[in-house]
Structure 1
Amino acid sequence: MFKRLLIATALVLSGCQGGSDEIGSGGGSSGGVVRFIVLGDSGAPPESGDVAKIVEKVCAQRGCDFAVGAGDNIYDQGADSVDDPIFQSAFEEPYKNLDFPFFMALGNHDNSNSPLGGGGTNERGDHEVAYTAKSSKWTMPARYYTQGWPRGSSKPVVELFVLDSSPITHFFNDLNPAWNGANLETYIAEQKTDMQAALAASKATWKFALAHHPYVSNGMHGNAGNYEGGAQPDLCALAGLISPSCRGADYKLFLEQTICDKVDVFFNGHDHELYWLKPVASCGKTHHILSGAASKHRSIQDQARNEAFYQVGDTHGFFWVELRGNRFTGAAYRVGAGGIATDVDDKGEPKPAFEMSFTK
């Protein structure tokens, strides 16, 4: 119910506040300016620590109020419990020098019953929700939720709509009856209704959605509606063994009925590259930024599948975003082995591999 979403939002607003004087804070939001980091597929140390080193430098240079995590927070199959030490190695240790909140979404590996990451054990994702109460920065008050910034504002600069995409796109059916059949359909329908209502009520200047699975991608997993269509092997072709949801056709419709043309940018992971893809007609004005290289990377599969402002594979990296009035600026940073910035200025400091702005 929408009430559940409102409760989730209230928990975020009253939760950990982060710092304003530590590395990356940039002194906090000022004059309506908001800055944040976009990380996806970050759950595999030690590579995540390499990326975190450059995040620290960029936040010290340019300022950061918070980070968003686009799922696959813990490889390869999530956490066994809220007390699993993997939370320390996969999250707390890599980001120990960053004192601001991380607003997290769930990915397929976070809910997995095997290292294949095909979903099927959603209770593992619930451990990540519960971990919010144990961490000073990890923030996931519910499997899906909204978050405004600055916190507590009746008209925030930005509002983030965090989706739970894995139950809509799973490979393997969850054997728990609470996550199967009619119960699963009810959960998906409630999430859709809640997000539609939250977006309609939002008074934020900027509206962003965050989910692990993309609407469009030029990587191995591909576009919603045809996920895995070009992958080798194509696991979705195993008829009778794999859920038909794995193609993402239901998810594509879900997105078109909730966030498409209603949010300014849709942030994702899942494919392990960096993309800023142009808006597509079926999703209206919405830009698509995929930042899935925070601990893993792959090659681009099809550069021509969707038109891109920027795309790069075979590198770790992340995006930094600044909102200043009606201007959005996004910058992509590449990271090499050992936490060395791939692109540097004449002082040896990290510089963007790509940076672009648009206004609304």
Structure 2
Amino acid sequence: MTSMHRLSLPSVLLLFLPACAPALSGPAVSLPDVTAPLTMPGPEHLRVVVMGDQGTGTDVQRRVAAAMQEVCAREGCDLGVGLGDNFYPAGPREVGSPLFQTRFEDVYGPLNLPFLMVAGNHDESGLFGGDGTDARGAETQVAYAKVNPRWVMPARTYRAPVTAGTGEALAEFFVVDTTPLAAYLPGRRVNEWPGGPWDAAQRTWLANALRGSGARWKLVLGHHPLFSNGKHGDAGQYDGLPFAFQRGDAVRDLYRVACGYADAVLSGHDHALEVFAPQPECPGTWAMVSGAAGKAEGARTGTRPAATEIHGQPGFLWLHLTPHTLNVRVYTVAADGTARLAGTHHITTREGSR
């Protein structure tokens, strides 16, 4: 996040005024059900490396990428996930930008994996880096997916069923764009403001897609966290900000339709590594934060009980899915680039099945 004090106070207040209006209303819209089917050539298992907030272009990003290669060479990886903030301080506006080469292809191309990509608030920067006000940055990344098959992002909101072995869907990933629902300033597209028709359409899409999925494991991917003890905090309480559109009330409402239907919600935004067992506010669904692949900062500020929680160290998650288990490994990366196992969790039943 970039501090808002870089804008003059009068400018900020003028921008905030529209957000104080009543909730938007308008004609209902629907989001297309965009699908990116993936087929794994191996037996009935899926190994996924999960990074977030990686696009810094720093030595930390390169060290974490090298550690990911180390783990993938040893344990195997079939798929990657990028949980947003793919570029700092702001996402490129042209498919031909060299940032795609230097921040993605040069760094993660050696893994030779498809990556399911998510848009973050820095990717959708408008007035300043990280404000989350301009979805055109995410749309540039959607366009880039057409020229690089390793960057899987057919839309800002999409699902990716993964079949392995028998041809049945072992897992399905549901990608949502949380940035318009927690922008620091009102976005340039009024219809995408929280409470508006786009917000309702994405929530309806996620609810229907989850309930219609026959996959063994269902995982929701979004940039902003549902739960976090990092500096941004839980959805609905982000950064202690005053307005509902800033603090993520709409993000909380979006994820709530997944509670009890998805096995896990994975996010970044906080530059930490966190794993939460199902919480009273979201029974049946695990919540995980993997936002430390490009920088690690901050200390624990929340008090929510966590199964694993690491602040101030870079790292990533590694998932192993079989028809019967979802195993989660939390890796930190030392200054010498060594990947160190910091936590392991075994989920043996779909706690959210209904």
Q: Residues 13 and 151 of structure 1 are in contact (CA less than 8 Å); yes or no, is this contact kept in structure 2?
A: no
| Compared CA separation, residues 281 and 152, structure 1 to 2 (3 A) | same
1:334 to 332, 335, 340: 332
The percentage of counterpart residues that share the same residue type is 32
Query: What displacement does 1:268 show?
Result: 0.5
Aligned partner of 1:307 in structure 2 is 305
Query: What displacement does 1:249 show?
Result: 1.4
Aligned runs of 1:183-202 on 2, under 5 Å?
185-202=196-213
Q: Deviations over 1:301-350 (max 9, x none)?
A: 325x2111111111110000001221111111111335x1153xxxxxxx
2:63 to 43, 50, 66: 50
Aligned partner of 2:348 in structure 1 is 359
SS in 1 for 2:308: strand
2:53 to 37, 41, 49: 41
Question: Which amino acid in structure 2 is aligned with residue 77 of structure 1?
Answer: A
Q: Residues 42 and 72 of structure 1 are in contact (CA less than 8 Å); yes or no, is this contact kept in structure 2?
A: yes
Q: Residues 193 and 199 of structure 2 are in contact (CA less than 8 Å); yes or no, is this contact kept in structure 1?
A: no
Aligned partner of 2:294 in structure 1 is 295
Matched, 1:170 2:183: yes
Taking the aligned partners of 2:78 and 2:228, their CA distance within structure 1 comes to: 27
Taking the aligned partners of 1:215 and 1:31, their CA distance within structure 2 comes to: 33
Matched, 1:322 2:320: yes
Taking the aligned partners of 1:2 and 1:198, their CA distance within structure 2 comes to: 13
Taking the aligned partners of 1:156 and 1:177, their CA distance within structure 2 comes to: 37
Q: Residues 77 and 114 of structure 1 are in contact (CA less than 8 Å); yes or no, is this contact kept in structure 2?
A: no
| Structure 2: gaps of 5 or more residues | 1-28, 350-354
Query: What displacement does 1:244 show?
Result: 3.4
Q: Residues 2 and 197 of structure 1 are in contact (CA less than 8 Å); yes or no, is this contact kept in structure 2?
A: no
Question: Which amino acid in structure 1 is aligned with residue 326 of structure 2?
Answer: F
Aligned partner of 1:145 in structure 2 is 158
Once superposed, what is the RMSD of the aligned Cα atoms? 2.1
Q: Residues 37 and 162 of structure 2 are in contact (CA less than 8 Å); yes or no, is this contact kept in structure 1?
A: no
Aligned partner of 1:263 in structure 2 is 262
Query: What displacement does 1:176 show?
Result: 4.3
Taking the aligned partners of 2:113 and 2:330, their CA distance within structure 1 comes to: 20
Q: Deviations over 1:260-311 (max 9, x none)?
A: 11100111100001001121111111111100000011133325x2111111
Taking the aligned partners of 1:244 and 1:160, their CA distance within structure 2 comes to: 28
Q: Residues 230 and 299 of structure 2 are in contact (CA less than 8 Å); yes or no, is this contact kept in structure 1?
A: yes
Q: Residues 170 and 217 of structure 2 are in contact (CA less than 8 Å); yes or no, is this contact kept in structure 1?
A: yes
Number of residue pairs aligned between Structure 1 and Structure 2: 320
Taking the aligned partners of 1:179 and 1:84, their CA distance within structure 2 comes to: 26
Q: Residues 43 and 164 of structure 2 are in contact (CA less than 8 Å); yes or no, is this contact kept in structure 1?
A: no
| Structure 1: gaps of 5 or more residues | 18-27, 230-235, 238-242, 344-351
Query: What displacement does 1:31 show?
Result: 3.1
SS in 2 for 1:96: helix
SS in 1 for 2:47: strand
SS in 2 for 1:160: strand
Query: What displacement does 1:118 show?
Result: 1.5
Q: Deviations over 1:90-119 (max 9, x none)?
A: 111111211110001111111011444121
